Amino acid sequence: MPLPKDFLFGFATAAYQIEGSPASGGRTPSVWDTFTHAPSPSGKHIADSCSGDTATDHYAKHWPSDLALLSSYGANAYRFSVSWSRIVDFSVPRAKGERDGRNEAGIKFYRGVLEELVRRGIKPAITLFHWDSPQALEDRYGGWLDKEIVHDFVHFAKICFEEFGDLVKHWITLNEPWCYSALGYGYGVHAPGRSSDRTRSAVGDSSVEPYIVAHNLILGHAYAVKAYRELFAPAQNGTIGVTLDAIAFIPYDETPESRAAAQRAFDARTGWFADPIYKGHYPASLYTITPPGTLPTFTEAEIDVVRGSSDFFGLNTYTSNLVRDGGSDLFNGKTQNTFIKPDGSGLGLFKSHVDWLQAYPDGFRQLLNYLWKTYNKTIYVTENGFPAPNENDLPLAEAIHDSTRVAYFRGYTDALLKAVEEDGVAVGSYFAWSLLDNFEWADGYLTRFGVTYVDYDTQKRYPKDSAWFLKEWFEKNKHKDAGV
């Protein structure tokens, strides 16, 4: 049985990771511009002390050829994010409560990208917020720590719906809000880098701030969806939802304690956002592991907007973990995670370049089944990918023959097909991460996820074997009437 007729296949990127040109065309700084250039109490925020100032130079020079790569790889869709501080003009100082104007140069740039995608027969899927919150709002009132940002986010979203909605039928409000909340305000390893850990940050309260930020992100998402559904969807006929990151948390053994721990780990990462959005409340286990009063409260009016505020389940997933009870980390559900089974053997089939990711395709299949049964929404896989070991140290001639990444994609795409064909899971897309090697957040340029090798000195692009594998996979499995 082939994939559904309207299945979206393609690749994903994010604005700060590829665009560069941080001050061009009226763009103002984001928190990532500030974070990458700011000193850190521990020495440096980014592993190679670099930033996204150039990234893959997508904005200034390479976006037309990057879209041509998409066509050559057989993509019928492309997921990318727009930069909030490139769309909205934050150059004029304003008071809290005042809305900023439009940056026409930024709008023109994205309009050009979208028109070229449509000309090529590639469906755009836009992410509104992929972690690059405007520094202006951080300075004005504390950014996502203040509920005022919900109004500013909806203002930004409405500009995008108005300017691009005739071309865009697939919208994602937020990318991985757990990462923005926990990594940015709990651990302090991502922008804006706030944490109780004073070796990382001089400011921040990890016991409170991540939960405030998460709550406001949920509200921002929900009210943006409400605006789209009421004001734009009737004429534009698009879909809108949220993308959450999830790990396949598998009980370490068959004990009740390990089964409860695996559920608690899921609740603390994905359920923290999924349960309010799809069910209308925070997971019960979050209340048991956090001190009383930690979780903010939704009003009845707010929860009416939050509940049901996603047309699909957007899923970013990379790996699986074995989970057992223990630990003190609230953002991990007070659990212990490992790749080592009780008998001493490894869970993962093979390791990646980073210690948190190993290949275990069956975990992906299990996760798809769990999400489908728990939330009963079509799953859009919006990121899935693999950093090949030591790829950054290999000569180009070897790096483009990325056999371990091909093996990863072979296993995970096969697991997706089995979930669809044998288990009856509704899956609407598969976007590989990433179209290009790029600025990989706190890892800088040391970790490569791309199916296209980028020589950062020359900015030349070189397709890897994994790009051709995925093209062949989709050609083989797409619906006969799918078109591209």
Q: Which two tokens stand for residue 202?
A: 């001089």
Report the C-alpha gap between 80 and 315 in whole angstroms.
15
**Any idea which residue has 């004029």 for tokens?**
92
Query: Residues 6 or more apart from 455 whose CB is under 8 A from it?
Result: 396, 462
Active site residue 116: no
Conformation bin of residue 459: beta by default, left when phi > 0, alpha when psi is -120 to 50: left
CA 339-344-347 angle, to 5 degrees, is 30
Assigned token pair, 281:
């409340």
Q: Backbone phi, then psi, for 164, in 5-degree steps?
A: -120, -5
Backbone angles phi, psi at 126, to 5 degrees: -95, 130
- Helical H runs in 311-434? 361-375, 396-399, 403-421
User: Strand 320-325 relative to strand 248-251: parallel, antiparallel, unpaired?
Assistant: parallel
Cis peptide before 434 (omega within 30 of 0): yes
Set 138, 209, 383, 391: catalytic member: 383
Active-site residue, 383 included: yes
In whole angstroms, give the CA distance from residue 188 to residue 139.
18
Catalytic residue among 19, 138, 163, 176: 176
Q: At what angle do helices 465-477 and 403-421 cross, to 10 degrees?
A: 20
DSSP 432: E
User: Which H, E and C letters describe 438-467, residue by residue?
Assistant: CCCHHHCCCCCCCCEEEECCCCEEEECHHH
* Residues with catalytic roles: 176, 383
